Structure formats: C-alpha cells, structure tokens
Copies of this chain bind each other. A is one copy, B any other.
Amino acid sequence: MGIIRKTESVGALLNEFKNGSNAISAITLVKRLESKFNKTTVYRVLDKLEDDGVLHSFMGDKGIKWYAKCDGCSKSEHVDLHPHFQCVACGKIDCVAVDVTIPKIPNREITASQILIQGTCEGCTSK
C-alpha cells in the first residue's frame, strides 16, 4: 500500500531525489536522514513511494538496494524500465535511458530484465 499522508519523512525523502537521475542506496538514505528519522521509517516510506510509482528500486552489485526516481510511472503501472550504470571507481549508479534488446530464449517466456552496466563514469575517467 502506498503513501496516504504527506508527512515530514515523505517530504524529506522526495527532497533527496528532487534533482538528478542519480540512484541512491537505501543505506545511504538511512544514514543521511538518521538524525531526523528512524531507519524503519525510511525503509517503509521508500517501499510506499515505490508502490506509488514515484520511485523504483533495484539491486546493486553488492546485493544492496538502490532507489531512483520514476518517470511516467503510476500506482497502477511501472513503465519506466531501463538499465543502470554503476561506476566501478566511485560506486555511483545512474539510470540510463538506453534500449537493450533481449533475444528470445527457447522454452522460456521473458517478462522482464534487470541490467546493471559497469564501467567508469565521466568524472572518474578524466582522473
């Protein structure tokens, strides 16, 4: 179930995502907000924002959860599906709006795919 009341914690979390298409890990958000909100609250609000189609989540390479803004999604359908790019040097993850074609696989019905592209970001290449 999604967000019902516009509380302080909802505002604080939305604020973290207001600029940029950067993803932020759940633990980072917990740490950033720990002086104002309990981690349970952070995890719960993130979960609700995802239900509402405001954020989407995915797993990073170390098995930790990341969140990023959705574009054009709603409570009823998540349409903003895309790969993510993680810089192996600085660890940052971005949403990338590229189309990756997954070929058919014999005897399997494909419904989705999670793609984590790895490499070096602009900032880290120039160093």
- Which residues in B have their C-beta under 8 angstroms from that of A103? 98-100
Q: Mark A84-112, 1 if CB is under 8 A from B, else 0.
A: 01011000000010111111010111111
When C-beta atoms are compared, the residue in chain B nearest to A125 turns out to be B109
Name 23 interchain pairs, CB-CB below 8 A, sorted by A: A59-B61, A59-B62, A63-B64, A83-B102, A85-B110, A96-B105, A98-B103, A100-B100, A100-B103, A105-B117, A108-B120, A108-B125, A109-B119, A109-B120, A110-B117, A110-B118, A111-B119, A112-B117, A112-B118, A113-B117, A113-B118, A114-B115, A115-B115
**Closest B residue by C-beta to A58:** B61
CB closest residue in chain B, given A96: B105
Range, interface on chain A: 35 or more
A122: interface (CB < 8 Å): yes
Are B98 and A105 within 8 A (Cβ)? yes
Among B59, B64, B101, B119, the residue within 8 A (CB) of A108 is B119
